Amino acid sequence: MTLSTPSIHRGLAGVVVDTTAISTVIEESNSLTYRGYPVQELAGRRSFEEVAYLLWHGELPDAGQLTEFRARERALRPLARTTAELLTRLPRTCHPMDVLRTAVSLFGAEDPAEDDGSPAANRAKSLALLAKLPVVVAADHRRRRGLDPIPPDSSLGLAENFFHMCFGEVPDPEVVRCFEVSLILYAEHSFNASTFTARVVTSTLSDLYSAVTAAVGALKGPLHGGANEAVMRTLEEIGDPARAGEWLAAALAARRKVMGFGHRVYKHGDSRVPLMQQATDRLVALSADPGTARLAALHTALREAMAARTGIHPNLDYPAGLAYHLMGFDIPSFTPIFVMSRVTGWTAHITEQLAHNALIRPLGAYNGPDQRVVPAA
Ligand SMILES: CC(=O)SCCNC(=O)CCNC(=O)[C@H](O)C(C)(C)COP(=O)(O)OP(=O)(O)OC[C@H]1O[C@@H](n2cnc3c(N)ncnc32)[C@H](O)[C@@H]1OP(=O)(O)O
Ligand SMILES: O=C([O-])CC(=O)C(=O)O
């Protein structure tokens, strides 16, 4: 008997698994829209809080809705004392993504409505995550330096407050704006690996915290969100703009993946890169550090060498990695900052999955041994 070979889609490349009304990449114009609005226009004209509202509600808020939304986000920031204490007991050497993953899990454990999957309950949980995750990331950023946490300041917007909780001060408004642009560009990207992870967990009718915990784990990997940290480590490894070409030749010969380059969907360049690169260039111009010009030259040299040798374009993580370094964050906090933003997209997808749920359960083509008899023990 001959069995017909099923077609295999390794990595689900090119497979359309469901519909979504949240965002789309438009191939012809190489653009990305959130709920129909070009992300570049949103980044130029709106705050990150407005974009979060848009992703969750489908429309931008009017003035009254925005005022209420901002007030609720600010009120939800403080962590429960038990959660804050538990997080400080994690090893100081663990990666901040481990801290964040644990934090989301703890938020679920402390929420009496954890298993209420109604749209209203999930919206409230999503807003609480948006408000609390920056507090966790900032406290951990300080813990790594042996410093006490700075409590959230409800007079400050989300981005400004995050800087204040990390460094005790709010930087130049242009720096805050570059940060906000990065949060808006990172917020949502359709069925990427971490969002798909959240949808898989949700499809079993598990709770929102479990889905977000799993998504944090998926984003940590260097082929996905972890690449923004890997970009800075690559630049550190190369060290000198003059070495970029030689380093790249050796990396490609060793079949190493160059972090911050390539994309599963964009094959002609990531639509978000030009705007993020513009923000990064602005940060370079604002920097008072004498080493910045050399670092920026190295960043450009590697991009140009990669284009010349492979034709592979940078993805959003390439300019964002350098931008976060220039803003003063240490490398391990780059992917956690991505989480602070992407939690908006994940939770929008969780709501959408629940509204039209079907258990996500693909098939595998078995290629193990033929059926055999268990030998007697
Ligand atoms: C926000 C984000 O998550 S954006 C993505 C962040 N991730 C990274 O920057 C990690 C580096 N990039 C990569 O590993 C890949 O480009 C991915 C995982 C993002 C996309 O991968 P895929 O769509 O599966 O493409 P795939 O890995 O098959 O690449 C096609 C070819 O280009 C090569 N290629 C793709 N990206 C890179 C890269 N960054 N460095 C070197 N070669 C690369 C592959 O080796 C492959 O070559 P081959 O056909 O000779 O084997
Ligand atoms: O879409 C992807 O595969 C990865 C990505 O760029 C993102 O999640 O922002």
Q: 3: pLDDT confidence band, cut at 50, 70 and 90? A: low
Q: Is 263 a catalytic residue?
A: yes
In degrees, rounded to 5, the angle at the alpha carbon of residue 25 between the alpha carbons of residues 334 and 317 is 20
The ligand 1 atom at the shortest distance from the C-alpha of residue 315 is 4
Residue 269, CA distances (Å) to 26, 180, 188, 274, 327 in order: 12, 22, 17, 9, 25
Instruction: Report how far residue 22's alpha carbon sits from residue 352's, in angstroms, rounded to the nearest whole number.
Output: 9
Q: How far is the CA of 318 from the centre of ligand 2 (A)?
A: 13
- Asked whether 281 and 318 are in contact (CB, 8 A), the reply is no
DSSP state, 267? S
| Terminal alpha carbon distance of the chain | 33
User: Across residues 169-192, what is the average pLDDT?
Assistant: 98
Q: 4: pLDDT confidence band, cut at 50, 70 and 90? A: low
Tokens of 267: 């094959």
For residue 166, the surrounding DSSP H or E stretch is: helix 158-167
Surface-to-core class of residue 287, CB atoms within 10 Å of its CB (0-12 exposed, 13-18 middle, 19+ buried): middle
What is the CB neighbour count within 10 angstroms for residue 174? Answer: 13
What is the percentage of the chain residues whose pLDDT exceeds 70?
A: 99
Find out whether the beta carbon of 258 lies less than 6 Å from any atom of ligand 1: yes
Q: 1: pLDDT confidence band, cut at 50, 70 and 90? A: very low
Q: Does residue 25 sit in helix, strand or coil? A: strand
Please provide residue 329's backbone torsions phi and psi, each rounded to the nearest 5 degrees. Answer: -80, 150
**Ligand 1 mutation pick, 97, 223, 252, max ligand atoms within 8 A of CB:** 223
What is the percentage of the chain residues whose pLDDT exceeds 90?
A: 95
Find out whether the beta carbon of 264 lies less than 6 Å from any atom of ligand 2: yes
> For strand 23-26 and strand 37-38, is the pairing parallel, antiparallel, or unpaired?
unpaired
Find out whether the beta carbon of 190 lies less than 6 Å from any atom of ligand 1: no
Find out whether the beta carbon of 25 lies less than 6 Å from any atom of ligand 2: no
Minimal-distance CA residue to ligand 1 atom 34: 262
Q: How far is the CA of 208 from the centre of ligand 2 (A)?
A: 21
Q: Is 289 a catalytic residue?
A: no
Q: How far is the CA of 184 from the centre of ligand 2 (A)?
A: 13
Q: Is 224 a catalytic residue?
A: yes
**Mean pLDDT for the chain?**
96
pLDDT at position 27: 73
Catalytic residue among 263, 313, 325, 349: 263
For residue 127, the surrounding DSSP H or E stretch is: helix 119-143
Ramachandran region of residue 140, left (φ > 0), alpha (ψ -120 to 50) or beta? Answer: alpha
Q: How far is the CA of 190 from the centre of ligand 2 (A)?
A: 8
All structural domains of the chain? 20-222+330-355 (1.10.580.10), 227-326 (1.10.230.10)
- Asked whether 80 and 212 are in contact (CB, 8 A), the reply is no
Q: 257: pLDDT confidence band, cut at 50, 70 and 90? A: very high
pTM (global) more than 0.95: yes
Distance of CA 84 to the CA centre of its chain: 23
Q: How far is the CA of 224 from the centre of ligand 2 (A)?
A: 7
Q: Of the candidates 352, 83, 78, which has an alpha carbon nearest to the alpha carbon of residue 196?
A: 352
AA identity, residue 255? R
Q: How far is the CA of 223 from the centre of ligand 1 (A)?
A: 8
DSSP readout, 209-234? HHHHHHHHHHHHSTTTTTHHHHHHHH
pLDDT in tens, 33-63: 999 999 999 999 999 999 999 999 999 999 9
Find out whether the beta carbon of 189 lies less than 6 Å from any atom of ligand 2: yes
- Asked whether 78 and 110 are in contact (CB, 8 A), the reply is no
AA identity, residue 120? A
Q: Of the candidates 200, 192, 197, which has an alpha carbon nearest to the alpha carbon of residue 215?
A: 197
Find out whether the beta carbon of 265 lies less than 6 Å from any atom of ligand 2: yes
Q: Is the pLDDT of residue 169 over 80?
A: yes
Minimal-distance CA residue to ligand 1 atom 28: 264
Catalytic residue among 141, 313, 317, 349: 317
